[in-house]
Amino acid sequence: MSDAPDTNAEFWKSAEQVAHWVTGAQERERQYARPRILMAELLPFGPDEPFTVLDLGAGTGAAARAVLSHFPAARAILADFSPQMMEHGNQAMAAYAGRYSYVEFDLASGQWPDAIPAAVDAVISSMCVHHLTDDRKRQLFAEILGRLIPGGWYLNYDPVAAPDPGVDDAWLRVAERRDPELAHQRTHRTPEQQARYDNHVRYIIPLAPQIEFLRAAGFEAVDVYWKELEDVVYGGRRPA
C-alpha cells in the first residue's frame, strides 16, 4: 500500500478530473459491457417483473443501465458521492427518465442516507468496492445484506490483486500483448500519473478474502460468476 495520502475523494469531486474521466467512458463501457450484462442476467426476475435495484458507487450509471435495459419494468436507485459524476450521470441516463433516481452516498462512511430504502430487491456495484479498505469492505457487505429482501442478490464487478507474483506476471503479459503501448506507458508515467495509479491500487486485494467477507456477512450461493485475469464478478444472495 502506498504511504501517500488517499486522494480518491479529491479526484472524484474535481470537475476537471471527472470531465477528463468521462471523455474515456465510451471505451470503458465497451470493455466492461459483458460483465455488467452478466450481472443483469444473474438477477432472478422475470422479463416484465417490477423490482428495485440499488447501484452502489454508480458513477454515470453504466451498471444500472445494463439492468434497466434487461428488465423494462425495473427501477434503479443510483448511489454516488460525487456531485460531478451524478451530473454527468443524469445526461447518460436520459433514456431511462422516470425509472431512476440519484442519491448522494459515500460508501466509505457507512452513513446510509434516508433516500435509500430499508429494503431493496437487489444490489449491484461496479468498479468501486476496490477503493475501500478491507475493514470497510467487510462492513459494507454486512450492510448490504441488511438492506436486501430475503432472497435478494448482491453482485459486484471489480478488479482484484494477484495472489502471487507468478500470476501477476501472467496477467501483465496478457495485458501488454493486448495493448503493446502499455509497457511504455507503465514505465513512463509522470509523477502525477504514478501518484494517481498508486492511489487507484492501494486497497485492491486478492479475490479469496473478499469471497470470505461475503460468507462471513451471511450471504449464501456465493460464487465467482465470471473472471478474466484481474476482473471478476462475484456475489451471493441473502438467505430466504
**Contact call for residues 125 and 56 (beta carbons, < 8 A):** yes
Which residues have C-beta within 8 Å of that of residue 6, sequence separation ≥ 6? 199, 202
Residue 12 has pLDDT above 80, yes or no: no
**Contact call for residues 39 and 66 (beta carbons, < 8 A):** yes
Task: Give the Cα-Cα-Cα angle 140, 87, 152 (nearest 5 degrees).
Answer: 30
Please state, as a whole number, how many other Cβ atoms lie within 10 Å of the Cβ of residue 165: 8
For 83-127, the pLDDT digits (tens) are 888 998 999 999 999 999 999 999 999 899 999 999 999 999 999
Q: What is the pLDDT of residue 18?
A: 55
Domains located in the chain, CATH noted: 8-162+203-237 (3.40.50.150)
Rounded CA-CA distance 41/219 in Å is 19
Q: What is the mean pLDDT of residues 170-188?
A: 91
pLDDT band for 23, please (50, 70, 90 cuts): low
Average pLDDT across the chain, whole number? 90
**Contact call for residues 223 and 234 (beta carbons, < 8 A):** yes
pTM here is 0.87
